[in-house]
Amino acid sequence: MASDDSASFVTFSVSSELFALPLASVREIIRYPTVVHAPLGPPALDGLANLRGTVLPILSLREIFSIPTVCADEATRVVVLDVGHPVGLVVDRMSNVMTVDLEHIVPADSIRTIASSELLSGVIHGEGRAAMVLILDVQSIVKQQMITVETSDSLHVSSASSQPIHKTTDIVGEESNETQLVSFLVAGQEYALAIEEVKEIVQLPEHITEIPQCGLHVLGVVSLRDRLLPIMSLRRMFSLPETELCETNKIVVVTPADGISVGLVMDSVREVLRVKNARIDPIPSILARSDKINEMQAICRLDDGKRIVSILDVQKLFDLTELLRIQAEAGITHMDDTLSKNSTDDEEQLIVFRVFNEEYAVPIESVQEIVRVPEALVRVPKTPDFIEGIINLRGEVMPVVDQRRRFGLPPAERNDRQRIVVFSIHSVRTGFIVDSVSQVMRVPASSIGPAPDVSLEQSRLIRRVVNLTEEKRMLMMLDVDSLLELHEVEELLDKTVTV
């Protein structure tokens, strides 16, 4: 134990140098964890990790000291510090804990080292390998690499006070006269559900537990966040030819009655659409009398009538008596229901997408549409590099941003998995190209917390993080209004209107 005239330190190596941290500042030492790479952060930020439910920003000391980086190996460790919030420092290997007399500690500026004296609080003079140990100044390192809470708070206030733009109505849609749909494919036919009917869209798991004495259209039950969910095949419900289930199949979760949720297996989910009500027609009366299309609610006409989407009625898809019997056979109670009323009050519904192998999320209500990337976009001269061009989305001219370039990430070749996610930013509809849209999901409010402030731009863009501890998964929640600066939106609007 250190006395009044001595101090204890944790020592470790970075490259060929030996460093030390005051023992009192070290919270714990862990192996290098799985990290989520946050865009627009400082170069020294390796990423964000899950530390028993807490979001841990991890900084690379090699990057801070301009030492060539190396891949983490068995000796690599992360020293977790407590600076009011946890921060991890990546080190090459741990050494030991040492107690030294204060008289052996000299000022940092008296010795020339690889580390700037501004980041050191002193140097320990010893013997042997520990002849010179550099003592890191924790506060100086964190201050240099991460913005302060006060700075981020003031930034949040100024961003929230931005006023919407009202220069033109060519791009801004009349939301009251529009309907938002989720479209999907089954046996080559496109169907849709009103977005408020869709509770989640999740991947089809590898294992499905069969339920005895149920219809052929009932595939079984799956576990969704520790609750049982009965799933049915829409192909079988519509008496369509069967195909083997694969990774493109998705489960669309709906709630046809209070306390009852069902998963519908689709061939694939196609788009999230926002269409004008004038393009939605009721089922023709001569067809509405047919029992075979009783599940249809309306028909949506797109692309000048060349594309027909059948809108399904969730209540008419299912027989309530059958659903109750399925629940009884599977041992599902109302309290077990995945999306029961008791749980939705404490949940948030998100759309999840990928950009450069990382997962991002936005509140579902902020998404206007999700559409495929067209074969060609019209380039607009003298616009920022991240502007891919403009498209005509059902009569509305809309600018499109390449989100990879916006984040300063390597470009990707166009492929079928990419989608354009459409937001309304300062009342201007803008599309953002993402690598893929993976799911619609509900997450407990308790799993959402503030993102660590690691840079001004990152703090403005990513203010919350979804930390799904049990799934070992972390989603970065984007602040939609901060995806573009106000002056960028104004410039885009001017360019778009004049094209």
Q: 0.85 cut: is pTM over it?
A: no
Report which secondary-structure segment, H or E, holds 498.
helix 486-498
Least confident piece of the model among 13-17, 116-120, 192-196, 366-370: 116-120
Q: How many domains does the chain have?
A: 3
What range does the domain containing 205 cover? 187-344
pLDDT of 10 > 90? The answer is: yes
Q: Is residue 329 domain-resident?
A: yes
- As a whole number, mean pLDDT of residues 216-233 equals 87
Task: Give the pair of three-digit tokens for residue 230.
Answer: 């009965």
Nearby residues of 30 by Cβ (< 8 Å), 6 or more positions away: 51, 77, 78, 80, 88
Q: Are residues 22 and 44 in the same domain?
A: yes
pLDDT of 469 > 90? The answer is: no
Q: Are residues 312 and 381 in the same domain?
A: no
Tens digit of each residue's pLDDT (9 = 90 or more) over 31-84: 999 999 988 888 899 999 999 888 999 999 999 988 898 999 999 999 999 888
- As a whole number, mean pLDDT of residues 462-475 equals 90
Closest CA to 199 of 158, 169, 227: 227
Least confident piece of the model among 76-80, 117-121, 330-334, 444-448: 330-334
Beta strands 6-14 and 93-101, pairing class = antiparallel
Question: Which CATH number belongs to the domain containing residue 138 in this structure?
Answer: 2.40.50.180
Region of residue 129 (phi > 0: left; psi between -120 and 50: alpha; otherwise: beta) = alpha
Whole-number pLDDT of residue 11: 93
Q: Are residues 287 and 357 in the same domain?
A: no
Q: Is residue 172 domain-resident?
A: no
Whether 125 and 135 have beta carbons less than 8 Å apart is answered as: no
Strand partners, 465: 449, 476
- Give the percent of the chain with pLDDT over 90: 35
Q: Are residues 358 and 324 in the same domain?
A: no
Whether 391 and 422 have beta carbons less than 8 Å apart is answered as: no
pLDDT of 231 > 90? The answer is: yes
- Distance (Å, rounded) from C-alpha 425 to C-alpha 472? 32
Q: Are residues 329 and 413 in the same domain?
A: no
The torsion angles phi and psi of 25, rounded to 5 degrees, stand at -90, -10
Q: Are residues 338 and 368 in the same domain?
A: no
Q: Are residues 396 and 453 in the same domain?
A: yes
Whether 498 and 490 have beta carbons less than 8 Å apart is answered as: no
Q: Are residues 390 and 247 in the same domain?
A: no
- As a whole number, mean pLDDT of residues 451-472 equals 86
Whole-number pLDDT of residue 233: 93
Task: Give the pair of three-digit tokens for residue 235.
Answer: 């192909």
pLDDT of 275 > 50? The answer is: yes
Task: Give the pair of three-digit tokens for residue 250.
Answer: 């998705």
Across the chain, how many H-helices and E-strands are there?
Answer: 11, 33
Q: Is residue 353 domain-resident?
A: yes
> pLDDT category, 232, cuts 50, 70, 90?
very high
Q: Is residue 174 domain-resident?
A: no
Whole-number pLDDT of residue 129: 54
> pLDDT category, 148, cuts 50, 70, 90?
very low
Nearby residues of 58 by Cβ (< 8 Å), 6 or more positions away: 33, 35, 45, 46, 47, 48, 49, 78, 87, 88, 89, 90
> pLDDT category, 326, cuts 50, 70, 90?
confident
Task: Give the pair of three-digit tokens for residue 138.
Answer: 């924790």
pLDDT of 427 > 90? The answer is: no
Closest CA to 421 of 300, 304, 274, 312: 274
Residue given tokens 């913005």 in the structure block: 147
Q: Is residue 177 domain-resident?
A: no
Q: Is residue 312 domain-resident?
A: yes
Q: Is residue 157 domain-resident?
A: no
Higher-pLDDT residue of 486, 113: 486
Q: Which of 294, 322, 344 represents a domain boundary (last residue)?
A: 344
Report the chain's C-alpha Rg in angstroms.
28
Q: What angle do CA 254, 257, 262 make, to 5 degrees?
A: 35
Q: Which of 280, 311, 344 represents a domain boundary (last residue)?
A: 344
Q: Is residue 161 domain-resident?
A: no
Q: Which of 122, 146, 170 represents a domain boundary (last residue)?
A: 146
Write the single-letter amino acid at 214: C
Whether 144 and 451 have beta carbons less than 8 Å apart is answered as: no
Q: Are residues 429 and 397 in the same domain?
A: yes
Write the single-letter amino acid at 412: A
Whole-number pLDDT of residue 85: 84
Across the chain, what does the average pLDDT equal? 82
Could you give the residue ranges of the DSSP H alpha helices within 225-292?
A: 234-237, 285-288
Whether 458 and 407 have beta carbons less than 8 Å apart is answered as: no
Write the single-letter amino acid at 434: V
